[in-house]
Amino acid sequence: MNPGQQPLVEFHDVTVAYGRRPVLWNIDLAIAEPCLFGVIGPNGAGKSTLLKAALGLVPVVGGFVRFCGRPRRQVQGRVGYVPQRETVDWDFPVNVMDVVLMGTYGRLGWLRWPGRRERAVAAECLERVGLADLADRQIGRLSGGQQQRVFLARALAQEADIYLLDEPMAGVDVRSQEQIFGVLAALRDAGRLVIVVHHDLRTAAEWFDQVALIDRRLVAAGPTAEVLTADNIQKTYAGGIELLEQLGQAVAERGRTE
């Protein structure tokens, strides 16, 4: 899939602002090979924003994101996405199978409905996340962990090469966490790149092959063991934030009172 030896994902000097106020500064990051990649940082560090910027959900004010050297629009079908669980209304009248089938919509395009093949794919994805027997259940009647796994199954049904997951382990019971991790590891083993936004440092060390430490700016990135040093963690969780915070404020202010 990667003839030109381009990195699978490349963030080139990406700055993201909400309104006028920058929240993510100059992220420069390239991931060359399939692996389990953790994006780690404190609350409000801009981890989710990073994923959203990659997916074009929030505008990038500086720099660019490339997938295999190409802009996102050209590789749409090859990027799978698992948003945070709270972003949707779980009372929505769809069942588990309906949600997983949504993963196949991208390939189907306009005017075509999921057919036998798509149903088979969806069923298999549900099998992989251990929810095969709940296919007909309304999504509101699932536990948090099960809901998260439905989202994962939907991303699997996208049959993508790169997966972006936003806090898949948040508010999820340990059993579900392990199951999700198992699925992700299997994806990695099958040659996919899996990028996971994660806030828990302890589990990060054992799960991820590579990590990036982020707190409004990229503190460090690389193989887990090299990056997760006491010094880097200190820098991520204590240093620099305040200044960036103030700078963000200053930029927003000057823009307004010019």
Q: Which residues bind other proteins (CB under 8 A)?
A: 12-13, 15, 25-26, 28, 52, 55-57, 62-63, 73, 76-77, 79, 81, 83, 87-89, 91-95, 98-99, 102, 105-106, 108, 110-111, 113, 138, 140-141, 154, 158, 217-221, 235, 239-240, 243, 246-247, 250-251, 254-258
Q: Which is nearer to other proteins, 146 or 177 (CB)?
A: 146
Burial class from Cβ neighbours inside 10 Å (0-12, 13-18, 19+) for residue 93 reads exposed
Identity of the amino acid at 97: M
Give the shortest CB-244-to-other proteins separation in angstroms.
9
Q: Which is nearer to other proteins, 44 or 71 (CB)?
A: 71
Report helix, strand or coil for 9.
strand
Q: Which is nearer to other proteins, 12 or 185 (CB)?
A: 12
Q: Which is nearer to other proteins, 95 or 224 (CB)?
A: 95
Give the shortest CB-67-to-other proteins separation in angstroms.
13
Ramachandran category for residue 251: left, alpha or beta (phi over 0 → left; psi -120 to 50 → alpha): alpha
DSSP state of 35: -
Give the Cα-Cα-Cα angle 15, 44, 49 (nearest 5 degrees): 40
Q: Which residue has the tokens 């999820």?
A: 172
Q: Which is nearer to other proteins, 83 or 178 (CB)?
A: 83
Give the shortest CB-47-to-other proteins separation in angstroms.
15
Give the shortest CB-191-to-other proteins separation in angstroms.
21
Report helix, strand or coil for 81.
strand
DSSP state of 45: S
